[in-house]
Structure 1
Amino acid sequence: MRITLVNPNTSRAMTAKIAAVAREVAGPDVEIRAVCSNDGPAAVECHVDEAFAAVAVVDLIERDLRDGGSDAYVIACFGDPGLDAARELVGVPVIGIAEAAMHVAALSGRSFAVVTTLSRTLGRARDLLARYGMTQACVSLSGSGIGVLELEDTTSEVYETIARLCEVAVQQREADVIVLGCAGMADLCQTLSLRVGVPVVDGVAAAVGLATAMVRMGVGTSKRDEYAPASRRGMPPVAADDLVGSAYR
């Protein structure tokens, strides 16, 4: 089985970090492939970045399809950019890390809080909460003021800022679970969970776990209507067999 992590920003360091986290949760028979954009935004921190990130997601998946394709795709950016477009391109599972983290958090407790990067991204997080039916479960959203690229190599100061926000969410907002709102926070789960005393969910690990399960179950992306095959910028039409993908590679 091959799962491709699609990082729509251009950070090689962050791509390597999320790949390492993904390999920790993937089974020994799961190949993790992580790719990032050459032409996308350096970091996805605003609506303009999000628009370019969606294009990068489509481009990276198309490139992977020309290389034989994967059994599932994970969009490793908390805004889940290009998620719907990606699902039009393939019949295998495509999972966004915000989507995965929120669903896993809802399974782990009655309520959760999101701790993310810049406050300007909170509007997008609210949009996703509504889309995924999680508005009622989310008791707080906190922007840390930390830029995405500051998470390439997490310093003690950055960690302390995130940890304090997690503590506030648990102690003052009574969150049962913490959701980390950036792929660059993926390596902080264990230490944060020990510190705050509740489960801390990273979307990269959650998405890889869900994608693996869906592949083993033989459940892919429905092609009935909205996600029916789309034209792919001059590429030949996708055959039905290619859209379905292998149930297990």
Structure 2
Amino acid sequence: MKIKVINPNTTIAMTKGIEEAAKSAARSDTQILAVSPKMGPVSIESYYDEYLSIPGVIEEVIKGEEEGVDAFVIACYGDPGLHAAREVTDKPVVGIAEASVYLASILAARFSVVTVLPRIKTMLEELVDSYGMHKRVVNIRTTPMGVLDFERDPEAGMELLRLEGRKAVEEDHAEAILLGCAGMAEFADSLEKELGVPVIDGVVAAVKFAESIVDLGKKTSKLKTYKYPEKKEYIGKLASFGYSSIKK
């Protein structure tokens, strides 16, 4: 099978790291196609960034229909464009935050998220609530480092994740830790050994969910909510997103 992993930001170095994480989890017969959109922010750390990344995500999903893709992974912890992406394809589309909280709910009763800048705390609280997990996620812990800072200085990033992860276990009584950024995959195994609880990287979780859904032969429901968008014209910079661009 072929899984397209879309990094919604445009930083290619980060996409390479995401690709490595995805391939480390994928089966030998699964092809990973990791991409960044041709338009969008270099990192996603606000509502503004998130919303402006969505057209690029949708464009990559539409292209995936012609690339023979069997499933898609949206590799940003805000899951930007997840529901819209499901409207333009019948293939499974999995968000990494969605996958991580669902996996954690099987492995632990209570869990905390450790992520990047403090400003995204509310964004993630709203996301967790939308997945019905607000009673299971006991805390969302932030760090002073941005998304790309973890790429530039992984040692400092690891130290902050270690510190907040330990606080999550000792103070939140979290029984699992979720890494709240697609660029944190490299830290998961070491943290799990140190903290003694499951540490879940969303990219890995999403790839395994995508493989399982494809193996089961399931596709996105087109009955109502995720049916293809209504036929209409888009103008200006969004003209290319008109109805005719969607391959059904």
Taking a change above 3 Å as real, the CA distance of residues 237 and 170 of structure 1, as seen in their structure-2 partners, is closer
Give the residue type in structure 1 aligned to 2:183.
G
Kindly report which structure 2 residues correspond to 1:18-57, keeping only aligned pairs within 5 A, or say none. Answer: 18-57=18-57
Kindly report which structure 2 residues correspond to 1:163-182, keeping only aligned pairs within 5 A, or say none. Answer: 163-182=162-181
Q: State how far apart, in whole Å, the 2-side matches of 1:237 and 1:14 are.
A: 28
| Structure 1 partner of 2:59 | 59
Q: State how far apart, in whole Å, the 2-side matches of 1:104 and 1:146 are.
A: 26
C-alpha displacement at 1:155, in angstroms? Answer: 2.5
| Structure 1 partner of 2:247 | 238
Query: Does the 8 Å contact 1:229/1:238 carry over to 2?
Result: no
C-alpha displacement at 1:145, in angstroms? Answer: 1.5
Give the residue type in structure 1 aligned to 2:144.
G
Identity across matched positions, percent:
38
Kindly report which structure 2 residues correspond to 1:1-249, keeping only aligned pairs within 5 A, or say none. Answer: 1-65=1-65, 67-230=66-229, 231=231, 232-235=241-244, 238-239=247-248
Query: Does the 8 Å contact 2:9/2:37 carry over to 1?
Result: yes
Give the residue type in structure 2 aligned to 1:182.
C
C-alpha displacement at 1:153, in angstroms? Answer: 4.3
Give unpaired runs (5+ residues) of structure 2: 232-240
Q: State how far apart, in whole Å, the 1-side matches of 2:52 and 2:124 are.
A: 18
Give the residue type in structure 2 aligned to 1:235.
S
Query: Does the 8 Å contact 2:62/2:245 carry over to 1?
Result: no
Query: Does the 8 Å contact 1:80/1:96 carry over to 2?
Result: yes
C-alpha displacement at 1:77, in angstroms? Answer: 0.4
Q: State how far apart, in whole Å, the 2-side matches of 1:100 and 1:89 are.
A: 20
When the two chains are superposed, the root-mean-square deviation of aligned CA atoms in Å is 1.2
Taking a change above 3 Å as real, the CA distance of residues 236 and 159 of structure 1, as seen in their structure-2 partners, is closer
| Structure 1 partner of 2:236 | none
Give the residue type in structure 1 aligned to 2:19.
A
Q: State how far apart, in whole Å, the 2-side matches of 1:123 and 1:236 are.
A: 34
C-alpha displacement at 1:236, in angstroms? Answer: 5.2
C-alpha displacement at 1:157, in angstroms? Answer: 1.6
Aligned pair count?
Answer: 238
| Structure 1 partner of 2:235 | none
Which whole-Å deviations, capped at 9, do the CAs of 1:171-218 have from their partners, x for residues lacking one? 111100000000010111100101111010010000000000000001
Which whole-Å deviations, capped at 9, do the CAs of 1:26-47 have from their partners, x for residues lacking one? 1011000000022210100011
TM-score, normalised relative to structure 1: 0.92
C-alpha displacement at 1:75, in angstroms? Answer: 0.2
Query: Does the 8 Å contact 2:5/2:75 carry over to 1?
Result: yes
Query: Does the 8 Å contact 2:2/2:30 carry over to 1?
Result: yes
C-alpha displacement at 1:61, in angstroms? Answer: 1.4
Query: Does the 8 Å contact 2:88/2:246 carry over to 1?
Result: no
Query: Does the 8 Å contact 1:3/1:70 carry over to 2?
Result: yes
Give unpaired runs (5+ residues) of structure 1: 240-249
